[in-house]
Amino acid sequence: MNTLNATHDPQLRSWVASANAAGCDFPIQNLPFGRFRPARSSEPFRIGIAIGDQVLDLKATGLVHTDDMNVVMAKGPTERQALRAAVSAGLAEGSSQAAEWAKALQAQSAVEMTVPCRIGDYTDFYTGIHHARTVGSLFRPDQPLLPNYQWVPIGYHGRASSIGVSGQRFRRPQGQTKAPDAAAPSFGPSKRLDYELELGFLIAQGNALGEPIAIADAEQHLFGVTLLNDWSARDIQAWEYQPLGPFLSKNFASTLSPWIVTMEALAPFRAAFERPAGDPQPLPYLDAPANRESGGLDITLEVWLQTARMREAGESAVRLTRGNAREAAYWTAAQLVAHHTVNGCNLQPGDLLGSGTLSGPKPDEAGSLLELTLGGKQPITLPNGERRTFLEDGDTLSLRAFCEREGAVRIGLGEVGGTVEAAR
């Protein structure tokens, strides 16, 4: 596990003034990575680090000599920690590099962001136990959790080509659906379009084909965390998912935050990982003392909605839910890596592992509308009087996240937003 060092010092301040503002997502203790270029340009994307309301061109500092984020991610943990220390020192108040590095800054409002790395493969897991129970109870009241859930991290392989960055606009998907009382399915736009509040774990160093990653080593293979919205067409999903799982209901769009918060930055916000009393303990290949001591992540997660009518009226988004990843996840990121590779599967730098929907135990901690409205049976009413069971055309759904703990500086994961457009 990553340990605390000088880069986490709560007293550390930056010569970039906006990074010292209270509540800032990107103080000097964070230093997340992304890819940017000047807005409205055709320049190649290059690696940047968020600091306050600015982005630092990493190559321009001379600390790296590539614009390929995956090359940086493939470095070993010692090299990654050394890079973080060098960036922190250069951005700290009193740094001799301040004058020169100031030339490498651009305002975040003046740049275009893209997906933070090249994603070769995408696997979406199902780690949210409260989500699994609630959704299971809607479809299987007598057996909400299937027998394997507490033993094996459930996942399916998603579609990397349709992953976009925050700000993504996508058309309402079409497909087959079948009403319970219909004799045959019908084809048309999804009527039960939903969001899924997730974390995305991005792989650093990979492993050779046939060589599993032990859970004790798994965190060395994790580069960082981003916010992920895995949009879902619930009516298409209900008809297609048996026996092989999601397909067209999931592969039309997934949206990522532009920033990767590194595992090193998250060191002050680790939490003990404990199974509830009476639950089976993980098999040995999924268990390790360090994982029990600090495998959890103390990350506050929020969901915000702005409808088209709200936008036209100049009204801000409203918060639908707030929860915490620590209370939602039944499996840790390290366990996902260990399980994914235990059969010899080879992960590569930039591969994305989705956490699955992270819902808390309370209704106002739901990570999807499917849960928040109990499958559409209990519509929610927004402050302007609009009602929602599922997403409508023109809705912009945003996820936000941050880490906050006494004795540490608050850091944020940024925001990931996406807008639903009418079906073609």
Has residue 1 got a pLDDT over 70? no
**Mean pLDDT of all residues in 307-327:** 97
pLDDT the model gives residue 402? 98
- 29/146 same-domain check: no
- Per-residue pLDDT reduced to its tens digit, 289-300: 999 999 999 999
- Provide the residue range defining the domain that includes 73: 6-114
78: in domain = yes
The residue assigned the tokens 């700000």 is 167
pLDDT the model gives residue 138? 82
- 104/127 same-domain check: no
Has residue 145 got a pLDDT over 90? no
Distance CA(134)–CA(130), nearest Å, equals: 6
pLDDT the model gives residue 143? 82
Has residue 173 got a pLDDT over 80? yes
Residues 172/183, Cβ–Cβ less than 8 Å: no
Beta pairing class for 193-194 and 222-229: unpaired
Query: Using only C-alpha atoms, what is the Rg of the chain?
Result: 21
- 202/350 same-domain check: yes
- Per-residue pLDDT reduced to its tens digit, 6-19: 999 999 999 999 99
- 222/332 same-domain check: yes
- 110/135 same-domain check: no
Query: The whole model's pTM is what?
Result: 0.97
pLDDT the model gives residue 3? 87
N- to C-terminal Cα separation, the chain: 47
- 92/185 same-domain check: no
307: in domain = yes
- 182/45 same-domain check: no
**Mean pLDDT of all residues in 211-228:** 98
Residues 369/139, Cβ–Cβ less than 8 Å: no
Has residue 307 got a pLDDT over 80? yes
- 71/176 same-domain check: no
Q: Phi and psi (nearest 5°) for 219?
A: -65, -25
Domain count, the chain: 2
Has residue 2 got a pLDDT over 90? no
- 313/373 same-domain check: yes
Residues 29/37, Cβ–Cβ less than 8 Å: no
191: in domain = yes
Which residues partner with 198 through β-bridges? 228
Q: What percent of the chain has pLDDT over 70?
A: 100
Name the active-site residue from 8, 65, 130, 131: 131
Q: Which of 64, 80, 114 is the last residue of a domain?
A: 114
Residues 279/246, Cβ–Cβ less than 8 Å: no
131 is catalytic: yes
- Per-residue pLDDT reduced to its tens digit, 373-395: 999 999 999 999 999 999 999 99
CB-CB neighbours of 313 under 10 Å: 9
The mean predicted confidence, pLDDT, of the chain is 96
Q: Which of 67, 83, 114 is the last residue of a domain?
A: 114
34: in domain = yes
pLDDT the model gives residue 57? 98
Distance CA(351)–CA(158), nearest Å, equals: 11
Distance CA(251)–CA(259), nearest Å, equals: 22
394: in domain = yes
- Per-residue pLDDT reduced to its tens digit, 221-251: 999 999 999 999 999 999 998 888 899 999 9
Distance CA(339)–CA(347), nearest Å, equals: 11
Q: How confident is the model at residue 286 (pLDDT cuts 50, 70, 90)?
A: very high
Q: Which of 78, 94, 114 is the last residue of a domain?
A: 114
- 183/314 same-domain check: yes
| CB-side neighbour CA atoms (13 Å) of 202 | 31
- The CATH number of whichever domain residue 161 belongs to comes to 3.90.850.10
Has residue 139 got a pLDDT over 80? no
pLDDT the model gives residue 144? 85
pLDDT the model gives residue 137? 84
Distances (CA, A) of 162 to 78, 165, 171, 308, 340: 33, 10, 12, 24, 22
Distances (CA, A) of 367 to 141, 191, 360, 371, 411: 20, 19, 8, 7, 21
- 334/362 same-domain check: yes
Q: Phi and psi (nearest 5°) for 214?
A: -70, 150
1: in domain = no
336: in domain = yes
- 215/338 same-domain check: yes
**Mean pLDDT of all residues in 169-179:** 96
Has residue 155 got a pLDDT over 70? yes
- The CATH number of whichever domain residue 28 belongs to comes to 2.30.30.230
- Per-residue pLDDT reduced to its tens digit, 96-137: 999 999 999 999 999 999 999 999 999 999 999 999 999 888
411: in domain = yes
